[in-house]
Structure 1
Amino acid sequence: MSDPELRRVPRVIELLRSADLSRAYTLCVFAAVLGAHLISRLSGTVTLVTVIAGLCVLGIAILAARRREFSLPRLVPLTLLALVAWALISMSWSIDVTAALSGWVSLCAIAVLAVTIGHVRDTLQTVRALGDVCRVALGASLALEILSGVLFDTPLDFLGIQGRLAELGPVQGVFGTRNMLGFVAVVALITFAIELRTQSVRRGVAVLSLTLAGALALLSASPTVYVLAAAVLLAAAALAIVRAVPAHRRRAVQWLLAGVVVAVGLTLVILQRRILDLLGARDDLALRSELWTQVNYYVRMRPVQGWGWIGAWDRDVPPYYTLNFLLQESHGSALNAFVDVLLQIGWVGLVLFVAMIATAVVRSWLVAADRRSVVYAWTPLMLVTLVAVSLFESFTLVGTGWLLLVICVVRAGQSRSWRDRVDPRPPTGTLPTIG
């Protein structure tokens, strides 16, 4: 290797370690994943896969260049590793190995992006990057809805936009469906609120962003938006109460709230169909009820191991093809993340999935209760949103939902972990100067 080439290598490593590249990388990841529907509709699936693959390669290179900043035990939470490993093992009994491998690679690719962000950016930096991308995505959604529903008064079918803004919705924006738009809008509301409280953006920008997200959440006319909003508000109120309680009484209050959460959670699960009915979603209720009845039949056939991980349903692979054929529908999921996990990787996978989320919720909640900065509230509130939406959609298993879930799991795993006894070094992705 020549002298110029030798000098070029350290420069590349220095670039991979730079904060500017980490910030640009985080922005690109959020833009690519949140804009996946738009990219695939405009440029094709191959373009989207190429972008994600390129970001994965760059993310691995960044982690390799910064490997001295973290240890192997802190890299990925064990619950996440176990879930991904079980999904890989499930390919051995999958009916279509090619489709299963494709779904597993997609699962791992998004996880790599999330793990990289979790280690190269702290919570506030992650919030700022997500906030910037959400502003652009929601702004573009509103612009396209105005163009389609007001100026041209015609649907933009190639983007899945129905052009019903003049009727006050439902609108879909750049996300393909009203439910996905509603979910992203709620995620944006949490993020914008944290930006406002931490004063990380100008007050005027934060207020306009909150107004935009709130307006699109309502215009989406998605029944799940009201459930998500109620869950987030209740969680935020509970967290505020815990933070205001003196330290010596905090544990008792935490246990009391934990009991309330369990009771409310069980109630939501039991009354899930009634809630959808009260929200005026009779059609959605009937559709989900019929789908879950058919799914339950196949779950009973393979209760422990499931039918093999596939992620988003491949409509040409049994039993997903069979389910859609029987229902005369074209579902891309079970419309419930927990039911989807149970169908695909059985009770073993469901236990791992629930354990991963529960551990992350507890850890992030305790950190948010003890730290002074409000930025630490972002992770538990985001997890509450992801759990709530999982009762009505399977967003947390693919794309944006899976990206946010893994980021939160990684972030939670950096605090109050058994790793502190194995590796005393401070974890990456924290804010040591706050709290």
Structure 2
Amino acid sequence: MLFTAFAGTAWVNAFGESITAAIVIGAGVVSLALWAVVRPPVQWRRLPWFVVAYSVWALASLLWSAWPLASALTLLLLFLTMLQSLFVGSVLTWHELVRAVASALKWVLMLSLLFELWVAVFVGVPLLPGFVARTEPVDPIFYWSRDNLFDGGRIQGIMGNANLLAPVALLAIVVFAVRIAARAPRRGLLWAWIVLAAYLFYRAGSATAYVAAAGTALVLVTILLMRRTRQPGERTRYYIGYAVLGLGGAAALWLWRDPIFTALGRSADLTGRERIWEIVAAKASERPVTGWGFATPWLPTDPAFDGWIIDHDQTVMQAHSVWVDVYLQLGIIGLVLLGFVYLAYAWRAWFFAVDRPRWDLRADRPYSALTLLPSLFGTIVLVQGLAESGPLLAWGWMLLVMFGAKIKQSPIVGVGPAEHSAAIERGEPLKQEP
């Protein structure tokens, strides 16, 4: 399930939409069945309720949706993703969860490299979805692989999109580094995986991912500084400095976006995104409160989206911004609910990372490196969401729900019923805290 979320459109490019739908729905059915059999301990009162509220509002939009079929199909995808997120988070401990995420990322990275190598060595020409070799040139946006591995161009991996490969590679660097810091076994191999992820990240050449990497580094440094404080008041200056750097960096990025994005090989309008935002915002303003109906992603087969916005002779399937997309689909109410989703997640993930594990009078327990991951992941999706709608589906939404629910269910790594269930199932003795 995690591999499918990270691989994104790889299944569609390889086998088509019908087989992909069967795989996704089948995985959801299996998850539900296993959940009923395993019955992991779940505190139902501690679910991520803002996620539930957002999802309920999305479901309610069926009542007024301008594209009801697209709403129904994409709502099925939304709820299947949520089901799988909660299932994986409930049956795995924090250590198992991070290890599973790392394993899925390894598969995606290695298959992406092998796929590009296979195209370069054995196919020799760009490849279209369905394993169709193309000798006559078409717009590169249609290619599954552009056969760029050896010519220095951007590579797209099994996703068929460099803007999807880059954030996954960035997340992989973070996950592998966290596992190394947590003293996972075979750390030498993890360093090799970091090298591979960094190579794919660089070759994907995504400007949004570069900005996300800078933001992730800033958040990591801030968390580590917070952990060094001894008195509550000491954190105040770090909060002020963090806010100044964050807001100042965002303002500088916007004001000097022309030279910055030109240096990154992108246009100042974010490769046509500003034009898309203007068109979508104009339509959203016609129904500003409730929106036009949930549709994530936009289905190009629906008459409402087919030919509505064309880019490189192809129907656009997203607004290229989480916030613009939600404004179109669910209106101001949806924007407010999603804002609370991200705010609640950021709040819990932040203090999960910066506060020492504590459930009694002892206040000197060591930090766990695993607690860094939710905040660093949140930074990636928040930055990516400024210029992409990807965080609203696939791994962006799955990990947001999964980590958010896991923090509420197991706020301390290795402590609590949800952290002991897997060990009990294997018949292992539980470690008692001294």
Pairwise CA distance, 1:116: 0.9
Partner of 1:323: helix, strand, or coil?
coil
Counterpart residue number, 2:372: 377
Q: Which of 179, 198, 201 lines up with 1:195 in the alignment?
A: 179
Instruction: State the identity %.
Output: 27
Distance 1:152 1:250 in 2: 59
Pairwise CA distance, 1:236: 0.6
Counterpart residue number, 2:385: 390
Counterpart residue number, 1:428: 418
- Structure 1 range deviating more: 104-113 or 125-134: 125-134
414 and 58 in structure 1: CA distance in 2 versus 1, 3 angstrom threshold: same
Q: Does structure 1 retain, via aligned residues, the 8 Å contact 2:67–2:304?
A: no
Q: Deviations over 1:75-120 (max 9, x none)?
A: x311010000000111111112111111111111011101111111
Distance 2:373 2:420 in 1: 13
Q: Deviations over 1:244-272 (max 9, x none)?
A: 11143354246435633762576378559
Q: Which of 248, 251, 259 lines up with 2:243 in the alignment?
A: 259
Q: Deviations over 1:39-65 (max 9, x none)?
A: 223333222222222222222233334
Q: Does structure 2 retain, via aligned residues, the 8 Å contact 1:94–1:309?
A: yes
- Structure 1 range deviating more: 214-223 or 60-69: 60-69
Counterpart residue number, 2:319: 334
Higher-RCO chain (CA-CA 8 Å, sequence separation at least 6) = 2
227 and 262 in structure 1: CA distance in 2 versus 1, 3 angstrom threshold: closer
Q: Does structure 2 retain, via aligned residues, the 8 Å contact 1:36–1:48?
A: no
Q: Which of 147, 160, 166 lines up with 1:176 in the alignment?
A: 160
Counterpart residue number, 1:46: 18
Counterpart residue number, 1:361: 346
| Paired letter, 1:162 | R
Counterpart residue number, 2:264: 279
Q: Does structure 2 retain, via aligned residues, the 8 Å contact 1:342–1:350?
A: yes
Distance 2:121 2:278 in 1: 41
| Paired letter, 2:401 | V
Q: Which of 135, 144, 150 lines up with 1:166 in the alignment?
A: 150
RMSD, matched Cα? 2.8
Q: Which of 204, 226, 238 lines up with 2:210 in the alignment?
A: 226
Determine whether 1:59 maps to 2:31.
yes
| Paired letter, 1:141 | S
266 and 223 in structure 1: CA distance in 2 versus 1, 3 angstrom threshold: closer
Pairwise CA distance, 1:312: 0.5
Q: Which of 105, 124, 140 lines up with 2:76 in the alignment?
A: 105
Pairwise CA distance, 1:157: 1.7
Pairwise CA distance, 1:162: 0.6
Q: Which structure has the highest helix share of the two?
A: 1
Unaligned runs of 5+ in 1: 1-28, 418-424
Pairwise CA distance, 1:321: 3.6
127 and 374 in structure 1: CA distance in 2 versus 1, 3 angstrom threshold: same
Q: Does structure 2 retain, via aligned residues, the 8 Å contact 1:161–1:171?
A: yes
TM-score with structure 1 setting the length? 0.84
Q: How does 1:276-355 map to 2 (within 5 A)?
A: 276-282=261-267, 285-317=270-302, 319-321=304-306, 323-324=308-309, 329-355=314-340
Distance 2:157 2:236 in 1: 45
Distance 2:245 2:400 in 1: 20
Q: Does structure 1 retain, via aligned residues, the 8 Å contact 2:307–2:315?
A: no
175 and 36 in structure 1: CA distance in 2 versus 1, 3 angstrom threshold: same
Q: Does structure 2 retain, via aligned residues, the 8 Å contact 1:90–1:309?
A: yes
Counterpart residue number, 1:154: 125
Q: Does structure 1 retain, via aligned residues, the 8 Å contact 2:287–2:331?
A: yes
Q: Does structure 1 retain, via aligned residues, the 8 Å contact 2:162–2:206?
A: yes
430 and 290 in structure 1: CA distance in 2 versus 1, 3 angstrom threshold: farther
| Paired letter, 2:390 | F
Pairwise CA distance, 1:173: 0.7
Partner of 1:320: helix, strand, or coil?
coil
Counterpart residue number, 2:112: 141
349 and 163 in structure 1: CA distance in 2 versus 1, 3 angstrom threshold: same
Pairwise CA distance, 1:364: 1.1
Q: Deviations over 1:180-217 (max 9, x none)?
A: 01011001111111111112231221110000000000
Unaligned runs of 5+ in 2: 132-143, 357-366, 422-430
Pairwise CA distance, 1:229: 1.0
Q: Deviations over 1:154-196 (max 9, x none)?
A: 1122260110111222000101100001011001111111111
Tell me the matched-pair count: 399
Determine whether 1:123 maps to 2:107.
no
406 and 202 in structure 1: CA distance in 2 versus 1, 3 angstrom threshold: same
Q: How does 1:10-29 map to 2 (within 5 A)?
A: 29=1
